[in-house]
């Protein structure tokens, strides 16, 4: 599974317009369970299928979802709970205030034939990390997607586990990526679009930094990025795999340690895939989910999707709506 993603941004500041748009007003939502999300996380229940090549097995990666734009596969993501999906923020660049354009397809193995047990759910809203600057190849490329309604778990639809800072996977650990992206640059996945998988080793951060080094003061690999793949190239993520999970197994559980973020071309030598390091954003994810349990009241974001400010407020029984500023300019 090769991948074509945009190269890193070569400079420039981010716009910090403070114009806001009310996207959602919702109270009295069903409470989410606290982290860890589910006792079933990270435990695929594989069905009895035979597969060859790089095709995955049906239900092998039950947390991988297809984020669709206007009914067509756009990005991948992974299921955290029966209401939350995590993906890359750049998947919604320019469309942050247009959730109706998107939907999430869960439980699909073949995109062309998702089957009666798949579930297609609309998106209520998307919350990108406030540190993301909407420039390709920048830090904090992570977003949480709130589904319009809760979904039912099954053998094909199960959540992934998230690592906190106590879970470590050292360099050279073999991990896996899965997605429906292009198989070569400019070559889309052929019909019936079977979910692809690829084993990729974690690359030491020092090696990754040297490979993408641009000069003093021009750091490309930030503290919340990690690299995985092959220095010789040929095997990589590609266009359409963005937002998908990089997962590793530990003591019988699968953990998502990364999100497909960016790269230079597809499978080029000395240009391994770069992933958002999920563990460094674990507290942010936990904070948002705990806040949503209190009853999400409203969400404002810049309609152009380039603001550094996201203002949310939650309804609390004794005091009413309280603002919560996630980031400031």
The question of whether 168 is a catalytic residue gets the answer no
Catalytic residue of the set 58, 141, 224, 241: 141
The question of whether 242 is a catalytic residue gets the answer yes
Helices (H) and strands (E) in the chain — how many of each? 2, 16
What is residue 91's DSSP assignment? G
Going 325 to 289 to 277 to 239, the CA torsion angle's sign is negative
DSSP per-residue codes, 267-309:
T-TT--EEEEEGGGGHHHHHHHHHHHHTTEEEEEE-TTS--S-
Helix (H) or strand (E) holding 156: none
Residue 135's contacts (CB-CB under 8 Å, 6 or more residues apart) are 9, 12, 14
The question of whether 204 is a catalytic residue gets the answer no
CA 212 to chain centre: 22
Catalytic residue of the set 4, 56, 74, 90: 90
In Å, what is the CA distance from 15 to each residue of 96, 130, 141, 143?
15, 13, 16, 19
Strands (E), the chain: 21-25, 64-69, 72-79, 84-87, 102-106, 119-128, 143-147, 174-179, 196-203, 225-228, 245-250, 253-262, 273-277, 296-301, 311-316, 320-325
Nearest to 119 by CA among 162, 80, 148: 148
Task: Point out which residues pair with 203 in neighbouring strands.
Answer: 227
Catalytic residue of the set 56, 133, 242, 313: 242
The residues carrying an active-site annotation are 90, 141, 242
């Amino acid at each position: 599974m090769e991948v074509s993603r945009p190269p890193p941004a070569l400079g420039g500041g981010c716009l910090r317009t403070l114009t806001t748009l009310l996207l959602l007003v919702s109270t009295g939502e069903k409470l989410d369970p606290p982290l860890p999300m589910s006792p079933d996380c990270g435990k695929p229940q594989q069905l009895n299928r035979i597969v060859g090549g790089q095709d995955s097995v049906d239900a092998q990666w039950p947390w991988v979802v297809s984020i669709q734009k206007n009914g067509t596969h756009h990005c991948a993501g992974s299921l955290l709970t029966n209401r939350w999906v995590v993906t890359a923020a750049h998947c919604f660049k320019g469309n942050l205030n247009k959730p109706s354009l998107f939907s999430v397809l869960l439980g699909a193995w073949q995109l062309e034939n998702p089957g009666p047990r798949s579930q297609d759910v609309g998106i209520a809203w998307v919350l990108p990390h406030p540190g993301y600057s909407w420039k390709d190849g920048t830090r904090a490329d992570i977003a949480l997607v709130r589904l319009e309604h809760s979904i039912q778990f099954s053998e094909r639809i199960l959540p992934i586990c998230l690592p906190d800072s106590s879970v470590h996977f050292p360099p050279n650990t073999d991990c896996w990526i899965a997605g429906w992206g292009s198989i070569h640059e400019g070559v889309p996945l052929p019909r019936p679009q079977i979910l692809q998988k690829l084993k990729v080793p974690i690359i030491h951060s020092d090696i990754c930094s040297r490979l993408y080094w641009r000069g003093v003061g021009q750091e490309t690999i930030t503290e919340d990025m990690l690299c995985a793949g092959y220095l010789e190239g040929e095997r990589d993520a590609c266009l359409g795999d963005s937002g998908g999970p990089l997962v590793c197994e530990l003591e019988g559980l699968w953990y998502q340690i990364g999100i497909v973020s960016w790269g230079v071309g597809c499978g080029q030598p000395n240009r391994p895939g770069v992933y958002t390091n999920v563990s460094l954003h674990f507290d942010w994810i936990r904070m948002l989910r705990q806040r949503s349990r209190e009853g999400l009241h409203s969400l404002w974001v810049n309609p152009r999707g380039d603001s550094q400010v996201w203002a949310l407020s939650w309804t609390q029984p004794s005091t009413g709506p309280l603002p919560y500023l996630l980031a400031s300019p």
